Every structure is written in structure tokens, then in C-alpha cells.
Amino acid sequence: MIKKFFQSTNNPEAAFARFVLDEEKCNGCGACVAACPMQILMVADGKAAPNQRYDHFRCITCQNCVATCPNKAIVIEGDYRVGAGFWKNTHLFENGKTLPAPIRSRAGEPFEQIEGQLTETERVIYKRRSIRLYKKKPVERDLVERVIEAGRFAPSAGNNQPWKFIAITNKQVIDEINDKCKRSLRKGTFIMMPHAYLDKKTPGDPNAKLNWWQNMVMALLCRIKTGDVEPRARGGINTVTSDPDYHIFFNAPVLIILLADKRGIGSIQLDTGICGQNMVLAAHALGLGTCWVSLVRGLGFYPAFRRQLGIDDQFEIISSLTLGWPKMQIDNVVAREQARIQWVE
Ligand SMILES: Cc1cc2nc3c(=O)[nH]c(=O)nc-3n(C[C@H](O)[C@H](O)[C@H](O)COP(=O)(O)O)c2cc1C
């Protein structure tokens, strides 16, 4: 029983998705490298390749590399599957990923062939990808307000509208938030990462283990902070904190921090998430790119700075959205896990 408890942090039988490249098609442009949120790719000898430094914590299967590649040279094979232990998920996802198939009778047909029959809203839903490559070009204030306006009309419990927006276009301020968030995340990595990962000079060792006290703390954190210490989340945090040049807001020209009023009705986090997704869809329909960045919650450790930004203590930081003009065409369909549906008829 005790052994089982401490096993929680280990990831026995974890299988990650594999990056498969058609070398003939790859022109080494590096678009996939820049688009990958986990920074697990690099260009070596003029071709895209997995970056061995982060080999231990691999792909989150977002498929932004696939969507970004101008030559369709990339396939992501397989999925994140854990066969045993606390993080076991093989019993939840048995059928693998598929491309969008909203018209059931035409499932299996290429998306381009059914696209014409879909509504504009559906097209944005299926083709929107998180954008992490932005032009320097500023976004006019009118457009930022237009995106926020879409959030204002989101549904909320009891119509309580608990959201508040901090819209930042000042690059220096965005950079300062980036620095502060990275600093607080780095503190967490001392607890969550094997020593080999903390030493910037040591490339990631796939066999590196947590030491005894980290194992004890992690076993506990798995139960009380499950989502924050999930193995892939830890891999992402490792990436972010160990690369001094990584900008958690991707140097986007606009950052919108989404807050929720703690005095709101019911589930203020859910309401604010719905509000944010309205904004995301409206932005994409306008040709703008967005990416949710919850790592902004690291700001919680800087109360004085928070207040300076207009985040008073009555408000909780829910997440943030980067906003800007995409540097290249990334929006595209990708495969996702099949829906877990339990029919009751
Ligand atoms: C609540 C939330 C928080 C997220 N936080 C981050 C983040 O901190 N950094 C990041 O690069 N992406 C973040 N993402 C983006 C996800 O990685 C992305 O949505 C996912 O991989 C699917 O890819 P897609 O948005 O291109 O479909 C977040 C997404 C959501 C919904």
C-alpha cells in the first residue's frame, strides 16, 4: 500500500507520441521548432529532429508542428499512454485519435471535402490552433476591444459576469511578467524535477530519478495539486524554466490576463473560461492568433506587482491569452482523442 502511494510520481509504462519526419519533404525551415510549445524539436543538419535535451518528457500531441509544416513533412504517431500507476490512462482512451468528423455519415473523408458544408463557427472551432508565432505588428486597440467584447457576452452562472480583463500592450511590462512567472515556476522545479534536469549544463537524462524526499513530496502533491504536477505539465515547466530565452508569452504584442471576482456566484473559474473561449474564437474569426497561457498564474507570488497591474486581492488570476497577428499560416485541422461518450437512451 505504501509502495503504491509512492509510485504515484513515477510513470511506469508511459509511452509518448513519436515524431516521424519525411526527410525528403522537410526543407529545414524550422517552423515546427518555433511552433512546438514543449520545445522538443530542433533543426539538425538542415532537417527537423527531436531535441534530445528534453527527451524524457515528450510530446503533448498538440500537433502544432504538423499544422505549421508548409510541406506536410511531419506525422505524429501514437499517443501519450500510461499503462499503470497513478497516471494510468490506457483504459480511458482505447480508440486512438481521429480528425474532425462532424458529419457522421461522411466520417473518414478528408476534412477539405466536408468543409464546405460546415458553418463558419464550426470551421473556426476545428481549424483554430494555438498561435505561438507572432508578427511584431501591433494590434489596434479597436480590435483588442472587439475581442474582449465577445467575452463580455459569454454565459455565466446567475449572469454574474465575474470576469475582469487586464489588457497589456506595453512590451516592457509583458517582459517583466514573463520574468516573474519564470522565476516562480523555477522554484517549483526544485521539488518536481530530477537533479539532472535542473543543471542547465546537463542534457536531460531519460533515466534520471527524483531523490527520496522529492518522491515523498510528489506523492502528496499528486493528490492535492494533481493537474500542476502531471508528468507532461512538469516537462513543460522544465522546458520553460531551463531555457533563458523562452518567452512564456511568445513575444506577443498583446497579453490579456483573465481575472475572476471571488465574490461571484457559483463557479467563477468556469464562467471566466467560457468568456475566454468566446474571445479566442472571435479573434480567430478576425484572423488574429491567440494562445491560452495559464503559466501566468505564477504572478500569484508577487502581490505588490499584481496590485500595480490592477489585480486587487478580490480577484483570482484564472489564465491569460496572448493575442497578435500570426507570423504564418498555422490554423489547420489536427487529430484528437475520440470523445468518451456514455449513451443513456
Ligand atoms: C487553460 C489552458 C491553459 C493553457 N496554458 C498554456 C501555457 O501556459 N502555455 C502554452 O504554451 N500553452 C498553453 N495552453 C495551450 C495548449 O497547450 C493547447 O491548447 C493544446 O496543446 C491544444 O493545442 P491547440 O490549442 O493548438 O488545439 C493552454 C490551454 C488551455 C486551454
| Protein residue with least CA distance to atom 12, ligand 1 | 293
Is residue 66 lining ligand 1, measured as CB closer than 6 Å? no
Alpha carbon nearest to ligand 1 atom 6, residue: 293
SS3 21: strand
Ligand 1 touching residue 37 (CB < 6 A): yes
Protein residue closest via CA to atom 11 of ligand 1: 37
Mutate to test the pocket of ligand 1, among 292, 322, 330 (most ligand atoms within 8 A of CB): 292
| Residue whose CA is at the smallest distance from ligand 1 atom 10 | 293
Atom of ligand 1 nearest to the CA of 61: 21
Q: What is the pLDDT of residue 219?
A: 87
Please name the amino acid found at residue 36: C
> How far apart are the C-alpha atoms of 289 and 323, rounded to whole Å?
6
Atom of ligand 1 minimally distant from the CA of 296: 8
Q: Residue-wise over 271-281: b if at least 16 C-beta within 10 A, else e? A: bbbbbbbbbbb
Collapsed DSSP state (helix, strand, coil) of residue 237 = helix
Concatenating the DSSP letter of every residue in 85-123 gives STT--TTT--S-EE----SGGGTTS-HHHHHTTS-HHHH
CA quadruple 14, 34, 122, 159: dihedral sign = positive
Q: For residue 84, what pLDDT is reported?
A: 85
By alpha-carbon position, which residue is closest to atom 3 of ligand 1?
A: 294
How does pLDDT run along the chain (345 residues), one tens digit per residue?
666 666 666 565 678 888 899 999 999 999 999 888 888 888 999 999 887 665 555 688 899 999 999 999 999 988 888 888 888 888 888 888 899 999 988 888 999 999 999 999 999 999 999 999 999 999 999 999 999 999 999 999 999 999 999 999 999 999 999 999 999 998 888 888 877 666 555 555 667 778 888 888 888 998 998 988 888 888 788 878 878 889 999 999 999 999 999 999 999 999 999 999 999 999 999 999 999 999 999 998 899 999 999 999 999 999 999 999 999 888 999 999 999 999 999
The dihedral through the CA atoms of 223, 11, 183, 318 has a sign that is: negative
Distance between Cα 277 and ligand 1 center (Å): 12
Instruction: Using the mean position of ligand 1's atoms as its centre, give its distance from the Cα of residue 290 in Å.
Output: 10
Domains assigned to the chain? 2-98 (3.30.70.20), 141-169+253-324 (3.40.109.10)
Cα of 278 to ligand 1 centre, how many Å? 15
Kindly state the cell numbers that stand for 71. 510541406
